[in-house]
C-alpha cells in the first residue's frame, strides 16, 4: 500500500522529467571524470573498457535474473545497443574531452534529438509535429552556434576533432530508435543495462587488443584507480536510469537528455576545470533549453508503462 501511495503522489511526467535531469547530470559528471583520467595519460579506450566492465558487473550482481543475459534473443540487442549507445560515442567523447573541453564535448550529446525525431517520424514511431520540429531545430541550431564559437576560441583547432564529434550524435540517434523498436518484452531495464554495458566492455576489450592498447597501463596509480572505480559506479546508475527512462518515454524525449547533459557540462566545466565561456556560448545554452521547452509544450509522450 505504501508503494501504491507513493506512486499516486508522483505524477508519471514528474518521474520522467526527474529521470531526464538526473541522467543528464550523471552523463556530464562522467565526462568530467573522463577528462580527469585521460588527461593523466590513461587511453580513452582503456578508460571506457573499465568504466563499462565495472558498471555492467555491478548491475549484474544486483539483478536476480542473471541467466537472462545468455538468451539468444538478447545477444543482438546487447551488441547493437552497446556499440551505438556506449562504446563508439564514449570512446570518441573521452578522447575529445581532453582536446576540446568538457563543455564542448557535452554539446555533442545535445545534438541527437532532431535526428532522432526525423528518424522516428519517418518510421512512424513519432507523430509529425511542426511545434516539436521547431523547438528541436532551435536547440540544434543553438548547439551548432556553440560549436562555432568554441571553434574560434580554441587555438590551432583540428577540424578532424569536430568531424569526430559529429559521430557521437549520429550513433546516439540510431541507438535511441533501435532500443525502443527492438525493446525485448518481459525484460527489466536492469538486465538490459547490464547486458548492454558488458557487451560494450567486450567490444572495447577486443578493439583495445586489435589496436595494441593496454588495458593495464603501467602509469596507472591509486588516484586513477579511484577515478575509474567512481566512474564505474556512476555509469551503473546512469544506464540504469537511462533504460528506465527509455522504457517510460519515447525515443525523441529520451534523446533530449543529451541537451540536459550539455548544460550541466558547461556548468561543470566552469566550476571544476575553470573553463571560460563567452556570453554568446551561454546564450546558446539558454536557446538549447528554450528549444527543448518548446518541443515539449504539449506534454511528455510516454512509452511502455
Q: What is the pLDDT of residues 147-158, one digit of tens each?
A: 666 555 455 557
Separation between Cα atoms, residue 37 and residue 131, nearest integer Å: 41
* Nearest one of 78, 97, 75, 79 to 31, comparing CA atoms: 97
pLDDT for the residue numbered 213: 85
pLDDT for the residue numbered 147: 61
Instruction: Answer for the pair 259, 139: CB distance below 8 angstroms, yes or no.
Output: yes
Averaged over successive runs of 10 residues, the pLDDT of the chain (305 residues) comes to: 50 85 88 79 86 93 78 87 86 78 68 78 76 79 69 60 83 89 86 91 89 81 86 92 88 80 79 77 81 68 49
Separation between Cα atoms, residue 257 and residue 112, nearest integer Å: 9
Instruction: Answer for the pair 264, 24: CB distance below 8 angstroms, yes or no.
Output: yes
CA 27 to chain centre: 6
Separation between Cα atoms, residue 59 and residue 303, nearest integer Å: 23
Separation between Cα atoms, residue 278 and residue 42, nearest integer Å: 30
pLDDT for the residue numbered 232: 93
Q: Which ranges in 83-127 belong to alpha helices (H)?
A: 88-100, 102-108, 112-122
Encode burial over 177-201: b for 16+ CB neighbours within 10 A, e otherwise.
bbbbeebeeebbbbbbbbbbbbbbb
Encode burial over 11-29: b for 16+ CB neighbours within 10 A, e otherwise.
eeeebbbebbebbbbbbbb
Instruction: Answer for the pair 112, 252: CB distance below 8 angstroms, yes or no.
Output: no
Place of cell 541527437: 112
pLDDT for the residue numbered 237: 93
Q: Helix, strand, or coil here: 249?
A: strand
Place of cell 587488443: 209
Encode burial over 226-243: b for 16+ CB neighbours within 10 A, e otherwise.
ebbebbbebbbbbbbbbb
Amino acid at each position: 500500500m505504501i508503494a501504491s501511495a507513493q506512486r499516486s503522489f508522483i505524477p508519471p511526467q514528474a518521474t520522467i522529467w526527474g529521470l531526464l535531469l538526473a541522467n543528464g547530470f550523471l552523463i556530464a559528471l562522467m565526462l568530467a571524470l573522463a577528462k580527469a583520467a585521460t588527461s593523466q595519460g590513461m587511453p580513452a579506450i582503456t578508460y571506457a573498457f573499465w568504466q563499462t566492465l565495472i558498471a555492467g558487473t555491478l548491475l549484474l550482481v544486483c539483478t536476480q535474473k542473471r541467466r537472462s543475459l545468455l538468451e539468444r534473443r538478447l545477444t543482438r540487442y546487447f551488441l547493437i545497443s552497446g556499440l551505438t549507445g556506449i562504446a563508439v560515442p564514449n570512446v570518441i567523447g573521452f578522447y575529445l574531452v581532453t582536446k576540446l573541453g568538457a563543455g564542448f564535448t557535452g554539446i555533442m550529446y545535445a545534438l541527437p534529438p532532431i535526428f532522432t525525431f526525423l528518424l522516428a517520424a519517418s518510421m512512424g514511431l513519432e507523430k509529425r509535429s511542426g511545434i516539436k520540429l521547431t523547438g528541436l531545430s532551435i536547440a540544434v541550431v543553438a548547439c551548432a552556434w556553440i560549436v562555432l564559437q568554441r571553434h574560434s576560441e580554441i587555438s590551432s583547432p583540428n577540424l578532424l576533432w569536430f568531424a569526430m564529434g559529429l559521430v557521437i550524435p549520429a550513433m546516439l540517434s540510431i541507438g535511441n530508435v533501435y532500443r525502443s523498436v527492438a525493446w525485448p518484452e518481459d525484460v527489466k531495464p536492469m538486465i538490459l543495462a547490464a547486458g548492454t554495458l558488458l557487451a560494450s566492455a567486450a567490444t572495447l576489450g577486443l578493439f583495445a587488443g586489435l589496436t595494441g592498447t593496454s588495458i593495464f597501463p603501467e602509469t596507472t596509480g591509486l588516484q586513477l584507480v579511484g577515478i575509474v572505480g567512481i566512474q564505474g559506479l556512476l555509469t551503473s546508475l546512469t544506464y540504469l536510469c537511462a533504460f528506465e527512462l527509455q522504457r517510460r518515454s519515447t525515443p525523441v524525449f529520451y534523446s533530449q537528455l543529451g541537451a540536459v547533459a550539455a548544460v550541466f557540462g558547461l556548468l561543470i566545466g566552469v566550476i571544476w576545470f575553470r573553463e571560460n565561456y563567452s556570453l554568446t556560448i551561454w546564450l546558446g545554452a539558454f536557446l538549447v533549453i528554450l528549444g527543448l521547452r518548446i518541443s515539449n509544450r504539449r506534454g511528455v509522450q510516454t512509452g511502455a508503462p
